[in-house]
Amino acid sequence: MALHLHLCSSFSGQELVLGRRWKHSFPKKTTQSPNQLSISCGTFPFSNTKFRRPYTSVMIVPTGVGASIGGFAGDALPVARTLASVVDCLISHPNVLNAAMLYWPLPNVLYVEGHALDRFAQGSWALQPIHRNKVGLVLDAGIEEELRIRHLQVADATRASLGLPVVEYVVTDTPLQVEKWVDHRSGQSTGRIRHPDSLLRAVHTLVNHSQVNAIAVVGRFPDDDVKEMEDYRQGKGIDLLAGVEAVISHLIVKEFQIPCAHAPALSPLPLTLSLCPRSAAEEIGYTFLPCVLAGLCNAPQYVAKDSGTLGQGCILASDVDSVVIPIDACGGEGTLAFARSLRHKPLIIAVEENQTVLDDTPDKLGIKAVKVSNYWEAVGVIAAHKAGVDPNSLRRNGINNIRLSSVSPCNGYLASNTV
């Protein structure tokens, strides 16, 4: 039996032969035998994705909170890669997408700094996708000469081997003096820089002199005692660097409203024979800079919604269809803004396997969320949601009888049937 598929007029007069048995001929008059089946493209008028708006998802793994997945050296990147293959647009932040010397180009992923992601979720800022940014590099004056040269060589390598538009660098006029510690109330890492004005002056120079519109910062971090790093190298505990890294990038994004990410400068650690794979990306080179430069070169620009400059193609919080978050890390500004949106509330998906030092669960915060055991299940929920299918219908006994509305029509008006 030959199966003739009459599909698209652009293939008129052509034939596609698949294997030995099936012959597909495209719109071209043929004489059909009684055993032949003809299927017209009119049967599937909405099969083309152009009839649907892009499905957008946000993936959040807060920084410096000891997340089981995403709390180490880019170990949430496989999740982001998988989600990106299912959704049309994935929005995430450096903590998820950075892996020190490693990175992965994902054309449908938007690299958005944490403070900007919060403003986006709250509806204050929109995201404007771009073809490329001009990236400026700020180096801490506290970085030793040899380590500074290593970072400049990395920047040149990304320019020559990847074609990244890293245009100029400046050195701060004063060492930043980065300090870090663990907040004993929350258990997450945090910190400060003693000379934030020096950092802001350096960024101002690059923005105004070189017209850059994205900033990579390398701050000299204090070297930890190897014993203090042992838990992290074994895939346990929290990232002691991540909290103050967020403080640095937040400062710049808040002040200049442009993409920013940070890479710490550290002395190389001595070789260990027992290293957890989740921490290994940070020990295969001299710097953490490559992933930062790669992410920033295509990061979307941030546009204030009240600026009157929203261009065509800007992405708004109302465009977000789903948000994926660790089960006990739902208390961040961005997640709360999405969950409490009145106009367009995305599907919140809480992943139980990804636990942190926090205790901000959906139940505790009164957030309606779909709880899933792991990211495998989260991907399935998103695939169903994107297809327009109620995810509950994929579960045994997931659908109950339809409910009677609590309000009923009365002479053209709605009247409550409850007292």
Residues 9 and 147 in one domain: no
Six-digit token pair at 294? 């790669």
Angstrom CA distances, 83 to 87, 106, 110, 130, stand at 6, 11, 13, 21
Length reported for the chain: 419
How far apart, in whole angstroms, are the C-alpha atoms of residue 66 and residue 231? 11
How far apart, in whole angstroms, are the C-alpha atoms of residue 164 and residue 132? 9
Last residue of a domain, one of 284, 305, 326: 305
Last residue of a domain, one of 305, 323, 348: 305
Q: Is residue 36 part of a domain?
A: yes
Residues 129 and 34 in one domain: no
Last residue of a domain, one of 272, 305, 338: 305
How far apart, in whole angstroms, are the C-alpha atoms of residue 95 and residue 78? 13
Q: In the prediction, which pLDDT does 319 show?
A: 96
Q: Is residue 242 part of a domain?
A: yes
Residue with tokens 């109302």: 318
Q: Is residue 119 part of a domain?
A: no
Residues 41 and 133 in one domain: no
Give this prediction's pTM.
0.84
Say how many C-beta atoms besides its own lie within 10 A of residue 393's C-beta.
9
Residues 36 and 148 in one domain: no
Range of the domain at 41: 3-46
Number of structural domains found in the chain: 2
How far apart, in whole angstroms, are the C-alpha atoms of residue 314 and residue 126? 6
Q: In the prediction, which pLDDT does 31 show?
A: 45
Phi, psi (5° rounding) for residue 58?
-115, 130
Q: Is residue 341 part of a domain?
A: no
Q: What is the DSSP letter of 38?
A: E
Q: Is residue 72 part of a domain?
A: no
Low-confidence ranges of the chain (pLDDT < 50): 1-47, 417-419
Q: Is residue 372 part of a domain?
A: no
Six-digit token pair at 305? 């919604």
Q: In the prediction, which pLDDT does 416 show?
A: 52
Residues 35 and 184 in one domain: no
Q: In the prediction, which pLDDT does 415 show?
A: 55
Say how many C-beta atoms besides its own lie within 10 A of residue 245's C-beta.
28
Q: What is the mean pLDDT of the chain?
A: 87
The count of C-alpha atoms lying within 13 angstroms of the C-alpha of 372, restricted to the half-sphere facing its C-beta, is: 22
Q: In the prediction, which pLDDT does 28 show?
A: 45
How far apart, in whole angstroms, are the C-alpha atoms of residue 281 and residue 261? 17
Residues 243 and 134 in one domain: yes
Helices (H), ranges, 74-176: 77-86, 94-97, 114-121, 145-161
Q: In the prediction, which pLDDT does 15 show?
A: 37
Residues 132 and 38 in one domain: no
Q: What is the CATH number of the domain that holds 264?
A: 3.40.50
Q: Is residue 416 part of a domain?
A: no
Residue type, 319: D
